[in-house]
Structure 1
């Protein structure tokens, strides 16, 4: 086992990591089935890291079919202690404009029927984990500090509403999310964050606002996939810059 402690989980728009010098790929088998793909080991900005594409390296696994338990278990078993999770989201509140970066500090789970816990079988006792603050504040603050230092456009907090997918939300559903206190909406935030907490991983999300959520933004028309792709591409350039700058400091 290497001394690598940092993993990057790539979402939509980040199925590979430019600048990563790949040293090997590791196929992992877990008690929860197969992960989204092999774990990619490599060197980024002079530091050993691991990378896993959440939707598979061909971006073929929809959010509700991702084996989150296998993904997180595999990273933990490979020796990871910290995880930077990259995700594309929709912006709900006014400051969550595309293609801004967001470092959420809270999350609300609207998903269902996903394998959402490691503590459900062969237990010696019922296990609960504290989830008051769902993200690792140490890692989240490090990301924020680095983003500020290199001059990126970002929001340093917000509540992530995790929906089931793979369809996008209705305008009425987005209205409900805002009433509930959500600032951004995505489909992969849960149970990934909770599983990381169960595994005692330091986990934080770097979200790219890919589009205004349904009924938001100018015109309030249908969401354009061309616009989403354009914003994701622009946002991921900033994510890569952030990762290249922060990885050596962690």
Structure 2
């Protein structure tokens, strides 16, 4: 049994967490560069918590330039055990309306301009992302959201696009009608893959801001309308987060789904062939296995 530490990655519109005791912004150095911003640490309702604004305070990083590897490494280095990613998304479903939240459980990754792994030449590893989110953590987010009075949807497929432009109408229709996606965003990949490599439980909460461009009654995405919805969603997001400590508790058993043991048989490179420089960079991510 270990001690729970909750890590919140806040997306567009969510730049702070209310009620943290002993709150302080910390700079964390990683072998992968600087994270998006300093990390706000403290204790919320008796449980340690770390909050990282994904785009940086003031929204300085585009979806393509977010330092995803540094972000995940920094959270792991601080002792985070459970990561909840909160992101603004568009909806492909009539019943998933702006203002609703979706607990995502699947992804289609269409990003192409980002580093997607901590591993590579000199230390090759293959983790499974067949089920890329943690059901235990997702269930806690679902319960917390419903308790906060938020309209929650349990399960959905998130189309991760590169951005920063929004979809064309043709793309939006394809993702919705042919591919069966439920929401679309720009930031949960490679974040979810990296969290799995770091043996962190990861849950994704999509805060719906718009209907993308497929909806005949809404037309193209209107940024001014998105910003209005973002502000309301941010309040809801903070309400959801405030309820997580009571649900997750201070003590943590091993993940029943194996998220915290994802590297058990993943590293294929023979010990005598491993690159010492890369191994040094993996101290936080894979130290449990490599040591």
Assess if the C-alpha contact under 8 Å between 1:91 and 1:184 holds in 2. yes
TM-score, structure 2 normalization:
0.80
How many positions carry a matched residue from both structures? 246
Ranges in structure 1 where 5+ consecutive residues have no aligned partner: none
The answer for the alignment partner of 2:7 in structure 1 is 7
**Distance change in 2, residues 1:64/1:197 (3 Å):** same
How far 1:162 sits from its partner (Å)?
0.2
Q: After the TM superposition, which of the residue ranges 21-30 and 80-89 deviates more from structure 2?
A: 21-30
Does residue 66 (structure 1) correspond to residue 81 (structure 2)? The answer is no
TM-score, structure 1 normalization:
0.93
Assess if the C-alpha contact under 8 Å between 1:4 and 1:50 holds in 2. no
The answer for the alignment partner of 2:88 in structure 1 is 88
The answer for the alignment partner of 1:19 in structure 2 is 19
Separation in 1, partners of 2:29, 2:244: 30
Separation in 2, partners of 1:26, 1:118: 23
Give 4+ residue runs of structure 1 displaced > 3 Å after superposition: none
The answer for the alignment partner of 1:161 in structure 2 is 159
- Partner of residue 128 from structure 1, selected from 126, 129, 143: 126
**Distance change in 2, residues 1:184/1:51 (3 Å):** same
Assess if the C-alpha contact under 8 Å between 2:14 and 2:237 holds in 1. no
RMSD (Å) for aligned C-alpha atoms: 1.6
Q: For each residue in 1:137-175, what CA deviation from the matched residue of structure 2 results, as whole angstroms up to 9, or x when unmatched?
A: 110011112323443211111100000011111111111
Assess if the C-alpha contact under 8 Å between 2:137 and 2:203 holds in 1. yes
Assess if the C-alpha contact under 8 Å between 2:116 and 2:190 holds in 1. yes
Which has the greater radius of gyration? 2
Q: For each residue in 1:50-86, what CA deviation from the matched residue of structure 2 results, as whole angstroms up to 9, or x when unmatched?
A: 0000001121100000110010011111111100111
The 5 A counterparts of 1:1-250 are 5-123=5-123, 126-178=124-176, 179-216=178-215, 218=217, 220-250=218-248
